[in-house]
Structure 1
Amino acid sequence: MSSIAASENRAQNFVNNILVSSNGEHILGSEGAIYEVEQNEDITDEDQYEEDDEFYDEPHLDDDDDEALMQNSATNDTNSVPDTTTSAHPDYDLHPLLLDDINDIFTQVPPEELAGASYQIDTENPRLLRIIFQFFTDFIEGETACQWQICNKTLLTCHILVHSKCYLEEKVIVEHVFQTCSCHPAYACKVPFIERLVRDFFEKAAITMEKLTYSRAALNSKLRLNLEIIPKIKQESYRELLGDAVDETLLNDSVANEILDNEKRIARKLELIKAPRIQPLDVDQHYDLLDEKHLPSLYHGHFVQFCKYIIYRLKNLNTLCVMCGKRTIDRDTKKALKPMICSDYECFSNAMDSKFRNDPLPPSIFSIEIADFLLLLVSAAIRSGRHALILDPYPKLINPYNTSTTLIDEHGDKDANVVILRQIVDDIMRMKSITQYEAVKISLRSMLELKHPWAFSFFHWLMGTNRYHFSRIPTEHQLTQVHTEHQYFIKHEDLTKHVNFKNLRAQVGSIFAFHGSPQENWHSILRSGLQIGKGGYLLNGAAYGAGIYVSPSFEFSASYVWSRAMYRSNPNTSTYDPEEKIQPLDQQNWSCIALCEIINSPEVYKKHSTDIWTIQDPNLICTRFIFFYPSGLHSLHFRVDSEEIATSIRKLIHTLNNTAC
């Protein structure tokens, strides 16, 4: 079934669910319930849950919220949105602009994009009108749905409350954004990250009644003539302009004249009544919240504007900044690794602080839980005597108060730069922990800048350039054999590499091996991947030539962490004490071991001995796990070259791909 045909069928299903009463008034089903529209039936369970990338978790509504939603759906007096020939409910006294906005929802939003809409007087506050929108979600890819914690097999429902008589003169309230998902144990599920997008739209768009009125007047000559746009003394000269035929050249000249006459208010009103230009079909329209000019037009009302914006965001979840909607990757890029934040400092600062407030962001977008970990890695590279070689990528610090000015980058004097970078890192480390910081009285940005004037710029670079999608492994899924609670799962390195690796693995299978390296190398490893010519092995002599050196033996790989003070060969002695409470950024003798997945082909790797393997192609090895030891590591007789162990690791990867979003 084609996507167009599927969309038409979905729209027709919704229409077929509408019942027509004896007096011709459109109503929805019994007791005001909103019918759920089935989405693309061509999606099978096998397609949805295919191996690594198609499973998702969904958040639960609390019992009280679940009951409230069910009660609202069952008891409120719900009416379908009337078409342009059907009058509003006789008992509803609505503001005329509100009624026009409701009517335009079905006439201006294509049925293949909007599953349905309805309105009802709120039972708790009769002055409020509840507008209910239902959006399709089946076009959202499985992995993206996982990251945003939304089910792409059922509709997204939004409950919006507006004042029935005052409309936009009162605040628009986003009451509920949820899904009723039959494939999940909970009947109703919150969708907190999508709710944030909905809430941001109504708060940041800040549409006024005046702006809505004049924007609608662009397509309504009667409304233009009745508006007090022009003072009476000028009305006669503007009669032609405000009539049926709007001459854009004349309008532009009039706007310029009013600006010259210092009548900016009149000029602004004239700008609003400009008729919309016809956009070429091949133009990819972009919407964001940075500027009102970047929003969908208001010519057909605020609700049509809202529908177009949210549909656009749902179709581009991972290509737009979560905070403002600005495009974060090139249009030709097929898919982004994870939700992203744009380069704007305000967006980044707000994203940081949102993690410490009740203001949710998708977990993979900012990874505040790994902020301390990334700081330790880059700190080791900066403090290394080999910083000019291994500090890759090199820090690029932009002046947050003048973004056209670069404070530090790779083109400067690296010896002078490293002195400043070490001072910045030392000052940040005095915070003891970024992850545990609570921005109650002062924002994280302000706290960082109190430590060092350039600390926020440094942290912005560190977190903003983290393109890996990795997260901390929940306790119930951790590998007990490695004896550390600090375990991280890397879902992706590079997207192209991820796809190619997955295809090769399906053909020939995969094996696993460990990689050990000194502190100073891990910043580069977790930014650029394992590369030939980087890491402790090659620099330590490379006895078997160039290549990426790995071992199926944890014990053997652990010997390459270099700092012998961190390593003990006695398996009964460990420098790592899980009960020892060390502040995250106070850790000095930490160590890391990676567990990697390798394409299982003799052409990919060479076995020089039982414990030493080399890989010649970086694209055929993926880092899957990082095991972090805060106080150094100890010897463990743990090997991963048996099929039993390899199978258990594959199952763990599958589980984490389904949950670590």
Structure 2
Amino acid sequence: PTVCERELCVFAFQTLGVMNEAADEIATGAQVVDLLVSMCRSALESPRKVVIFEPYPSVVDPNDSQALAFNPRKKNYDRVQKALDSIASIREMTQAPYLEIKKQMDKQDPLAHPLLQWVISSNRSHIVKLPVNRQLKFMHTPHQFLLLSSPPAKEANFRAAKKLFGSTFAFHGSHIENWHSILRNGLVVASNTKLQLHGAMYGSGIYLSPLASISFGYSGKVYSQRKGHTLKAPTYKELIFGGMNKKQQKVSAKDDPPSGSKSSSTTQSQKKGQQSQFLQSRNLKCIALCEVITSPELHKHGEIWVVPTTDHVCTRFFFV
């Protein structure tokens, strides 16, 4: 869910109580909220924040419903940073009732909770943590998410092009600080713009690769792989039938160990640790698996692919 950035829309959205509570999001998607906050923080702490911390928050002043405490027309990065620093970790949020969370935030900083609401509601992407039995086994990380970031119009254009040319999968790597904007504005062609961080040796377009090792380089991660093993983007068949190993296919939520058992305690402990990992780390590395239209416009330069048309690339999965 999201709203436009016009002040009238923001006032109506925040003061009329629509999405007034973040309780459901925190209860059902703690890691996702944690990740959104981490992306926001990374963008805000970046030397490039003037360029990449977009959109800037639009938050109504809790003491004056006719004024914006955070206003894109009057940016105050230090004040946003102060409020963001006051937002408790998702692990702490899940251990207390929603009203207690809000009370603690309001006590620390009256703008912390409104900012958290904005971080959640301004996200235009559909991002959901994949359960263990649905995770892609070829990606060696437990932090796997379904990520659909294309607006309906772009998705419609993508599907139309897919009928004509077909599609395949490839990886896209970008530093964690860029994802605050990507989730809200979509993947864009950054070549030869102020958003460009790396060179555009192979021309203007969105850069992807069938090899994870290459895309990880763009995310700031030095990727190491086992000798003789290369992590390649999957085919449709591999993605659908090879995403889960046999053991994972047999596991479901109802098969979890009984409460109180040793394995159950271990699992719960691991979950608690994972919930706050994103906020505790200042060095997150991420990569997206995208679906790409295989049209004549797709330029392949060895293992580096360039797509000049934004409507021909859609994110499907996200790994941290």
TM-score interval w.r.t. the shorter chain?
0.7 to 0.9
Pairwise CA distance, 1:524: 1.1
* SS in structure 1 at match of 2:64: coil
Distance of aligned partners of 1:503 and 1:551 in 2 relative to their CA distance in 1, 3 Å threshold: same
Provide the C-alpha distance between the structure 1 equivalents of 2:318 and 2:286, rounded to a whole number of angstroms. 7
* SS in structure 1 at match of 2:171: strand
Contact 2:149 2:186 in 1 (8 A): no
- Equivalent residue for 1:391? 53
* SS in structure 1 at match of 2:65: coil
Provide the C-alpha distance between the structure 1 equivalents of 2:203 and 2:167, rounded to a whole number of angstroms. 23
Superposed, which structure 2 residues align to 1:340-419 within 5 Å?
A: 342-344=13-15, 346-349=17-20, 351-354=21-24, 367-412=29-74, 414=75, 417-419=76-78
Specify which of 307, 316, 319 is matched with residue 624 of structure 1.
316
Between the two proteins, the alignment pairs up a number of residues equal to: 268
Specify which of 82, 85, 102 is matched with residue 423 of structure 1.
82
Pairwise CA distance, 1:601: 0.8
- Equivalent residue for 1:268? none
**1:453 equivalent in alignment to 2:113:** no
Specify which of 567, 578, 583 is matched with residue 222 of structure 2.
567
Superposed, which structure 2 residues align to 1:155-234 within 5 Å?
A: none
Task: Name which of structure 1's ranges 461-470 and 477-486 shifts more when overlaid on structure 2.
Answer: 461-470
Contact 1:345 1:400 in 2 (8 A): no
Select the structure with the greater relative contact order (CA < 8 A; seq sep ≥ 6). 2
Pairwise CA distance, 1:464: 1.4
Alpha-carbon RMSD: 3.0
Distance of aligned partners of 1:480 and 1:570 in 2 relative to their CA distance in 1, 3 Å threshold: closer
Specify which of 489, 504, 512 is matched with residue 161 of structure 2.
504
- Equivalent residue for 1:586? 280
Provide the C-alpha distance between the structure 1 equivalents of 2:138 and 2:195, rounded to a whole number of angstroms. 24
Pairwise CA distance, 1:482: 1.0
Specify which of 178, 186, 193 is matched with residue 529 of structure 1.
186
Contact 2:173 2:215 in 1 (8 A): yes
Distance of aligned partners of 1:464 and 1:483 in 2 relative to their CA distance in 1, 3 Å threshold: same
**1:539 equivalent in alignment to 2:188:** no
* SS in structure 1 at match of 2:120: helix
* SS in structure 2 at match of 1:545: coil
Provide the C-alpha distance between the structure 2 equivalents of 1:540 and 1:509, rounded to a whole number of angstroms. 29
Deviations along 1:491-510, one digit per CA (max 9) or x if unpaired, are 45201111221222123211
Superposed, which structure 2 residues align to 1:261-410 within 5 Å?
A: 342-344=13-15, 346-349=17-20, 351-354=21-24, 367-410=29-72
Pairwise CA distance, 1:559: 1.3
Provide the C-alpha distance between the structure 2 equivalents of 1:418 and 1:489, rounded to a whole number of angstroms. 31
Provide the C-alpha distance between the structure 1 equivalents of 2:98 and 2:70, rounded to a whole number of angstroms. 30
Distance of aligned partners of 1:459 and 1:434 in 2 relative to their CA distance in 1, 3 Å threshold: farther
**1:471 equivalent in alignment to 2:128:** yes
- Equivalent residue for 1:26? none
What is the one-letter code of the residue matched to 2:37? L
Pairwise CA distance, 1:405: 0.4
Distance of aligned partners of 1:493 and 1:480 in 2 relative to their CA distance in 1, 3 Å threshold: same
- Equivalent residue for 2:216? 558
- Equivalent residue for 1:549? 207
Pairwise CA distance, 1:557: 0.7
Structure 2: unaligned runs, 5 residues or longer:
5-11, 228-266
Provide the C-alpha distance between the structure 2 equivalents of 1:536 and 1:389, rounded to a whole number of angstroms. 7
Structure 1: unaligned runs, 5 residues or longer:
1-317, 322-327, 330-340, 358-362, 573-577, 629-661
TM-score (norm 2): 0.74
Pairwise CA distance, 1:470: 2.1
Distance of aligned partners of 1:434 and 1:388 in 2 relative to their CA distance in 1, 3 Å threshold: farther
Deviations along 1:501-539, one digit per CA (max 9) or x if unpaired, are 122212321111101111211111121111111799942
What is the one-letter code of the residue matched to 2:32? I
* SS in structure 2 at match of 1:614: strand
Give the percent of matched residue pairs that are identical in Structure 1 and Structure 2: 31
* SS in structure 1 at match of 2:287: strand
- Equivalent residue for 1:606? 299
From the CA coordinates, give the structure whose radius of gyration is larger: 1
Distance of aligned partners of 1:409 and 1:500 in 2 relative to their CA distance in 1, 3 Å threshold: same
What is the one-letter code of the residue matched to 2:22? M
Contact 2:148 2:314 in 1 (8 A): no
Contact 2:30 2:90 in 1 (8 A): no
